[in-house]
Structure 1
Amino acid sequence: MTCVVKVTSVEITNLKNVRKGKFHTNSSFATLEKADVIGFYGQNGSGKTAAVEAFNLLKTLLSANHDAPLPKITSNLLYFNEKSIRLMFQFIIENRLGEFFVDYTVSLSPGRTKYRVVKEEVSYRENKGNTSFISLISKNDNEILIGNKKIQEMSEADRVSVMVANRMAVGNSTSFVFREELKEVFENLFEEHETELMKNISINFNSDLHVIDTIHYGLLIANLIMPFSVHLEKKRGHIPYEMQDTMVLPIDLFETIDQVVRQTNIVLQTIIPGLQIKIRQINKQTLSDGNEGVRFEFLSRKGEIELPLRSESEGTLKIISILSTLIAVYNNPNACVVIDELDAGIFEYLLGEILEVLNDNAQGQLLFTSHNLRILEVLPIRNLWFTTLNENDRYHQLRGVERLNNARDVYLRAVQLGGQAEEIYAETNLYDIKTAFRKAGIPHDN
């Protein structure tokens, strides 16, 4: 592997219901090829999904080369009455040229219809002694610095490329610093290791970053689409399988799905004994663009019984849809998979078994949100972050948990009695709940 990139910490400001929050992972240069499984727990509406949304935005920003636009302002990402969202991601990178710390900071504000980047900076330092961070590239509206050069100090060719990149970034609501138009500028103005670091973040890490949010699961439980998350050697992304009798895909996508199914079946039969996925190819047909496609259907097979895959339970379908990315976390140190509500629809004991296997033996990073407390019994306390009631300090780790303590018991005690640095649960009262239910059932005149 030419490089390994790991996220080490994330700072969130004014995103959804998080005014301020910071959390870190357990990755270090000494553990680059060891598992880093991080879970988020907390009351509904307390900031868990904001952590996932931060990675969703990062994925979009890193995909500037594909003109992936930032979300529409109607997505309500900005904290009430604030003017901008600020995110900072810290990475460690080991590549052929050494070991480095890299920071990426970005500020987003509402534009006319979409969010737009108003500030952006990538800085780094070598993992040597007391070296200081060096700014690689920064943008503050139209004030741009690449290395230590302003636009007017660059050659004409570089200046034109920078201006084109900036115009494209503004027009398409994308990141500026990760645009393809800057590739030659970096080669002209950066040292070799600096150019390599930009590539490691924008290409290597981006290709191995998967964010699976609740929209994916919502489409699945609505019996509309099962998004196959794909992580193969040279192919990444999602392929939407429409939950109907048959489906037509271009030949290259069909071959990718076939690879994913063969990969998934190896693990699936150990998780759900006896279950296998089968693809039944029906025929080839010409697509509307003139290219050749394949019509097929998915079947689930248990022994001699074959049924349409859509007849399986929501939990089984969810496991199938994300299994390729979990396989990547197990085998690929560079894989970073972020899943919102990982526990939804999955039997709690099985979920605990899967996470225990990944935490003990995997090589990549898995970050997830969950409500299921079974996981607190199988993951070390250092792997768990709990949301608080303090909007200015949203993420905390439990204190008072010794090595042999059950984190589940400590968490439930903190919910009931407090005792942590920040409150983690807005108190509810059984008597008030019973009274409210009773009053709500009394007929009221209009």
Structure 2
Amino acid sequence: MTIIKIKKIKVQNLRNVRQGEIVLSVNFNTFLKANVIGLYGQNGSGKTTIVDAFGLLKVLISGWVTEVKLPSQEKRLIMAGADTASIEFEFLVENPFGTFFINYYVELQEDDKRLYTTVERITYRENEKGKRSKVLVYVTEEDIQIRKVNLSDMNENTRIQLLVIHQLAKRQYTSFVFHKDLKPLLQDGLSELEMQLFHNIAIDFNHDLHVVNNQNIAPLFEERIMPFSIHLEKTRGSISYDLKGPALLPEDAFYVLCEVIEQSNRVLSAIIPGLTIRINVISKQTMDNGEKGIRFEFLSQRGERELPLRTESEGILKIISVLSVLIAVYNNPNACVVIDELDSGVFEYLLGELLTVIDEDGKGQLIFTSHNLRVLEVLAIKNLWFTSTNEDHRYIQLKGIKEVNNARDVYLRAIQLGGQDEEVYKETKTFKIKRAFRKAGVQPD
């Protein structure tokens, strides 16, 4: 069995984080136990930056299967005043060859259209004392290294192919390291074990990585388009459902959603007593592109009462939209789910109960940002990270917490009185807020 876990995330000059690092409390002895990681902090202090880092990772490693372009420069992911941003991920991997540490590092710049990679490096190390890291691929704008062999030491045919792929990756705004055209050349230069490690990240981990950011979830609140995040045995990804009226989807997508609803209903009534979802098929018809489609609607069912799903609260709709991936975190040790503002619209007690259940008996990794402090009362302090006001040391863990301490109380005390290694809140003063409101209400002559 293959198991892959995230151990460390490091970002530099990404959005408003000059330097930041989060280390998860996972090791090879706790591989089958869940990691539920909450990230807390002031608005605009760098929580979403971690979600963006995972989004970039997803795009980069997807290149082995399909071409996915890096984000456009309109997103402004590189910190103002900096030319380059970087992200670095460390993975723990257990596969038939043994246990390993894998490190992936990438530097990014942007042109007038999109981000592009300038440096990429992937290394690995056996999980044995005294073992050193070995380079699999290291590419800069000047050189390419595969294992210990540099570009100048390769035969002319290989050198030309690598340079062509390098230019393609830049032009296509994709990863060079995970470019699908690089695979055949790597098979010639790497061992079976090393190719397996590549496969573990590019295929296995990627398959089970779900990133739910505000861009994904915004249509639910703004356009009443509900994005279902999907983790089924044979299907991963996202399918959107129009809450405003009967939806029309291709048959394949419809049957995937049917499976998601069947899966979700097993859990939904335990989370929200009495609630299940029923699928009302209206008709089969040919779509504009010639595909066979099904027109249908989702109904929320409570006892004898049925209403369109859109009548449910935004909090319930958000839970339903991510329930499939939360079920995956509970059951699948390889599931890695990253959700921005998980608490948005969700009743705080229910949120605490959900996270407690996953933390105590789950198997995968759930990394989320939140503003709701209820979670600080239910998760272990080792699983809680906080943003500081220091751009050069953005992510910290609270010190001075004993078993009997309530992390919520300690955090609020740190906001009010300090006492941590870094300031966790840029102070706001109520009298200044009052004065600002008063001034804003004065009409000009």
| TM-score normalised per structure 2 | 0.97
Aligned partner of 1:240 in structure 2 is 240
Separation in 1, partners of 2:33, 2:111: 41
User: Is residue 161–residue 181 contact of structure 1 (8 Å, CA) maintained in 2?
Assistant: no
The one-letter code matched in structure 2 to 1:199 is: H
The one-letter code matched in structure 2 to 1:42 is: G
348-357 or 67-76, larger mean C-alpha shift: 67-76
Separation in 1, partners of 2:306, 2:345: 23
Q: Report deviation, 1:440.
A: 2.2
Aligned partner of 1:286 in structure 2 is 286
Q: Is 1:306 the counterpart of 2:306 in the alignment?
A: yes
Q: Report deviation, 1:379.
A: 0.3
Alignment of 1:307-326 (within 5 A): 307-326=307-326
The one-letter code matched in structure 2 to 1:209 is: L
Q: Secondary structure at the match of 1:66?
A: coil
249-258 or 155-164, larger mean C-alpha shift: 155-164
Separation in 1, partners of 2:127, 2:28: 9
Separation in 2, partners of 1:220, 1:360: 30
Q: Secondary structure at the match of 1:374?
A: helix
291-300 or 227-236, larger mean C-alpha shift: 291-300
Deviations 1:90-131 (A, max 9, x none): 111000100000000000001230000000010000001111
Alignment of 1:59-78 (within 5 A): 59-64=58-63, 65-78=65-78
145-154 or 404-413, larger mean C-alpha shift: 145-154
Separation in 1, partners of 2:398, 2:27: 21
Q: Secondary structure at the match of 1:334?
A: coil
The one-letter code matched in structure 1 to 2:326 is: L
Aligned partner of 2:81 in structure 1 is 81
Aligned partner of 1:49 in structure 2 is 48
Q: Is 1:258 the counterpart of 2:262 in the alignment?
A: no
Deviations 1:54-109 (A, max 9, x none): 10111111112321100111111111110011111011100010000000000000
58-67 or 84-93, larger mean C-alpha shift: 58-67
The one-letter code matched in structure 1 to 2:39 is: F
The one-letter code matched in structure 1 to 2:198 is: M
Aligned partner of 2:203 in structure 1 is 203
Aligned partner of 1:374 in structure 2 is 374
Separation in 2, partners of 1:405, 1:116: 46
Alignment of 1:3-402 (within 5 A): 3-64=2-63, 65-154=65-154, 158-159=158-159, 161-402=161-402
- Unmatched 5+ residue regions in structure 1? none
Q: Secondary structure at the match of 1:63?
A: helix
Q: Secondary structure at the match of 2:333?
A: coil
Q: Report deviation, 1:339.
A: 0.4
User: Is residue 164–residue 181 contact of structure 1 (8 Å, CA) maintained in 2?
Assistant: no
The one-letter code matched in structure 2 to 1:11 is: K
Deviations 1:266-288 (A, max 9, x none): 00010001111111112211223
Q: Secondary structure at the match of 2:427?
A: coil
Deviations 1:26-58 (A, max 9, x none): 111011110101010011111101111110111
Separation in 1, partners of 2:377, 2:208: 29
Q: Report deviation, 1:161.
A: 4.4
The one-letter code matched in structure 2 to 1:201 is: I
- Unmatched 5+ residue regions in structure 2? none
Separation in 2, partners of 1:371, 1:60: 27
Deviations 1:345-398 (A, max 9, x none): 000000000000011010000000000000000001000001001000000000
The one-letter code matched in structure 1 to 2:51 is: V
Q: Report deviation, 1:167.
A: 3.1
Q: Report deviation, 1:439.
A: 2.5
The one-letter code matched in structure 2 to 1:63 is: S
Q: Secondary structure at the match of 1:390?
A: coil
Separation in 2, partners of 1:224, 1:272: 21
Separation in 1, partners of 2:245, 2:156: 58
User: Is residue 212–residue 340 contact of structure 1 (8 Å, CA) maintained in 2?
Assistant: yes
Q: Report deviation, 1:164.
A: 4.2
Q: Secondary structure at the match of 1:26?
A: coil
Q: Report deviation, 1:142.
A: 4.7
User: Is residue 86–residue 107 contact of structure 1 (8 Å, CA) maintained in 2?
Assistant: yes
| TM-score normalised per structure 1 | 0.97
User: Is residue 209–residue 335 contact of structure 1 (8 Å, CA) maintained in 2?
Assistant: yes
Deviations 1:249-306 (A, max 9, x none): 1111111111000000100010001111111112211223322121111111111111
Identity %: 50
Separation in 1, partners of 2:442, 2:83: 44
Deviations 1:206-249 (A, max 9, x none): 01000001123321111431100000011111101122211111
Separation in 1, partners of 2:74, 2:223: 26
User: Is residue 352–residue 374 contact of structure 1 (8 Å, CA) maintained in 2?
Assistant: yes
Separation in 2, partners of 1:282, 1:88: 49
Q: Secondary structure at the match of 1:358?
A: helix
The one-letter code matched in structure 1 to 2:291 is: N
Q: Secondary structure at the match of 1:50?
A: helix
User: Is residue 7–residue 25 contact of structure 1 (8 Å, CA) maintained in 2?
Assistant: yes
User: Is residue 228–residue 239 contact of structure 1 (8 Å, CA) maintained in 2?
Assistant: yes
Separation in 1, partners of 2:232, 2:160: 38
User: Is residue 223–residue 310 contact of structure 1 (8 Å, CA) maintained in 2?
Assistant: no
The one-letter code matched in structure 1 to 2:378 is: V
Q: Is 1:428 the counterpart of 2:428 in the alignment?
A: yes
Q: Secondary structure at the match of 2:269?
A: helix
Separation in 1, partners of 2:325, 2:409: 31
